[in-house]
Amino acid sequence: MGEFKVHRVRFFNYVPSGIRCVAYNNQSNRLAVSRTDGTVEIYNLSANYFQEKFFPGHESRATEALCWAKGQRLFSAGLNGEIIEYDLQALNIKYSMDAFGGPIWSMAASPSGSQLLIGCEDGSVKLFQINPDKIQFERNFDRQKSRILSLSWHPSGTHIAAGSIDYISVFDVNSGSTIHKMLVDRQYMGVSKRKCIIWGVAFLSDGTVISVDSAGKVQFWDSATGTLVKTHLVANADVQSIAVSDQEDSFVVGTAEGTVFHFQLVSVTSNSSEKQWVRTKPFQHHTHDVRTVAHSPTALISGGTDTHLVIRPLMEKVEVKNYDAALRKITFPHRRLISCSKKRQLLLFQFSHHLDLWRLGSTVATGKHGDTLPLSKDADHLLHLKTKGPENIICSCVSPCGSWIAYSTASRFFLCRLNYDRVHPKVSKMPAFLRSAVQILFSEDSTKLFVASNQGSLHIIRLLEGSFKHLHTFQAQSGTVESMCLLAVSPDGNWLAASGTSAGVHVYNVKRLKLHCTVPAYNFPVTALAIAPKTNNLVIAHSDQQIFEYSIPDKQYTEWSRTIQKQGFHYLWLQRDTPITHISFHPKRPMHILLHDAYMFCIIDKSLPLPNDKTLLYNPLPPTNESDVIRRRTAHAFKISKRYKPLLFMDLLDERTLVAVERPLDDIIAQLPPPIKKKKFGT
Partner 1 sequence: MAALEEEFTLSAVPLGAGPDGLLGVEQCDKTDQFLITDGGRTVILYKVSDQKPLGSWSVKQGQVITCPAVCNFQTGEYIVVHDSKVLRLWTNEDVNLDKVFKATLSAEVYRILSIPGTEPLVLFKEGAVRGLEALLAEPQQKIETVISDEEVIKWTKFFMVFRHPALIFITEKHGNYFAYVQKFNSSVVSKYTLLLGQEEKSVIQSFTASLCRKFISLMSLSSDGCIYETLIPIHPSDPEKNQHQRVVRSLLLKTVVSGNARNALSVLDQDHVAVLGPSLPASKECLSIWNTKFQTLQISKELPQGTSGQLWYYGEHLFMLHGKILTVIPYKCEMSSLAGALGKLKHGQDPGTQTMPHFVNWETSQGLGSQNAEPSKRILRRRKIEASVQPEVPGSQQLLSTIKKDSEKHIEMELRKFLAIKRTPDFHTVIGDIVIGLLGRCKTEPSFYPRNSLMQLIQMHVLSYSLCPGLMEVALEKTDVQMLQLCLQQFPDIPEAVTCACLKMFLSIGDDSLQETDVNMESVSDYSDAVQEEQMEEQTGILQNGFNPEEDNCDNCDKELSEKPQNTIEETTSCPVIPKRAALLNAVLHSAYSETFLLPHLKDIPAQHITIMDWICLLLDANFTVVVMIPEAKSLLLSLYKFVKSQICICSELNKIEVSFRELQKLNQEKNNRELYSIEVLELF
The binding site for partner 1 (CB under 8 A) comprises: 1-11, 361-363, 366-373, 375, 378-379, 603, 619, 622-623, 639-641, 643, 658, 664, 666-667, 679-683
Nearer to partner 1, 363 or 535 (CB): 363
Residue 585 CB, shortest distance to partner 1, in Å, is: 15
Nearer to partner 1, 374 or 479 (CB): 374
Residue 571 CB, shortest distance to partner 1, in Å, is: 21
Residue 187 CB, shortest distance to partner 1, in Å, is: 13
HEC profile of 249-281:
CEEEEEECCCCEEEEEEEECCCCCCCEEEEEEE
Q: What is the DSSP letter of 570?
A: -
Nearer to partner 1, 300 or 602 (CB): 602
CB atoms within 10 A of CB 642: 12
Q: Which of 179, 225, 223, 185 is nearest to 201 (CA)?
A: 223
- C-alpha 564/C-alpha 548 separation (Å) is 9
341-380 burial, b for 16+ CB within 10 Å, e for fewer?
bbebbbbbbbbbbebbbbbbeeeeeeeeeeeeeeeeeebe
Residue 563 CB, shortest distance to partner 1, in Å, is: 22
In the Cβ-directed half-sphere of 46, how many Cα atoms lie within 13 Å? 10
CB atoms within 10 A of CB 313: 18
Nearer to partner 1, 180 or 596 (CB): 596
- C-alpha 509/C-alpha 186 separation (Å) is 68
Residue 584 CB, shortest distance to partner 1, in Å, is: 15
476-512 burial, b for 16+ CB within 10 Å, e for fewer?
beeeeebbbbbbbbbbeebbbbbbbbbbebbbbebee
- C-alpha 362/C-alpha 376 separation (Å) is 6
Q: Which of 104, 98, 96 is nearest to 123 (CA)?
A: 104
Q: Which of 358, 357, 391 is nearest to 61 (CA)?
A: 391
Residue 361 CB, shortest distance to partner 1, in Å, is: 7
Residue 641 CB, shortest distance to partner 1, in Å, is: 6
- C-alpha 289/C-alpha 674 separation (Å) is 10
Residue 602 CB, shortest distance to partner 1, in Å, is: 9
Nearer to partner 1, 225 or 619 (CB): 619
Nearer to partner 1, 52 or 597 (CB): 597
Residue 360 CB, shortest distance to partner 1, in Å, is: 8
Nearer to partner 1, 2 or 71 (CB): 2
CA torsion angle 569 575 579 580 (round to 10) = -40
- C-alpha 361/C-alpha 65 separation (Å) is 45
CB-based contact 288:17 (threshold 8 Å): no
Residue 648 CB, shortest distance to partner 1, in Å, is: 14
Residue 378 CB, shortest distance to partner 1, in Å, is: 7
- The letter for the amino acid at 198 is I
- The letter for the amino acid at 73 is R
Residue 370 CB, shortest distance to partner 1, in Å, is: 7
Nearer to partner 1, 512 or 680 (CB): 680
Nearer to partner 1, 329 or 656 (CB): 656
Nearer to partner 1, 8 or 470 (CB): 8
Nearer to partner 1, 319 or 378 (CB): 378
Residue 588 CB, shortest distance to partner 1, in Å, is: 15
- C-alpha 414/C-alpha 478 separation (Å) is 28
Residue 658 CB, shortest distance to partner 1, in Å, is: 7
CB-based contact 209:152 (threshold 8 Å): yes
Nearer to partner 1, 369 or 388 (CB): 369
Q: Please enumerate in sequence order all residues whose Cβ is within 8 A of that of 312, keeping only pairs 6 or more positions apart, or say none.
A: 260, 283, 285, 299, 300, 301, 302, 327
Nearer to partner 1, 10 or 329 (CB): 10
Query: End-to-end distance of the chain based on CA atoms, in angstroms?
Result: 56
In the Cβ-directed half-sphere of 12, how many Cα atoms lie within 13 Å? 32
Nearer to partner 1, 380 or 492 (CB): 380
Q: What does the angle CA 482 – CA 486 – CA 490 come to, to the nearest 5 degrees?
A: 125
Listing from the earlier edge strand, what are the strands of the sheet with 227-233? Answer: 198-203, 208-213, 217-222, 227-233
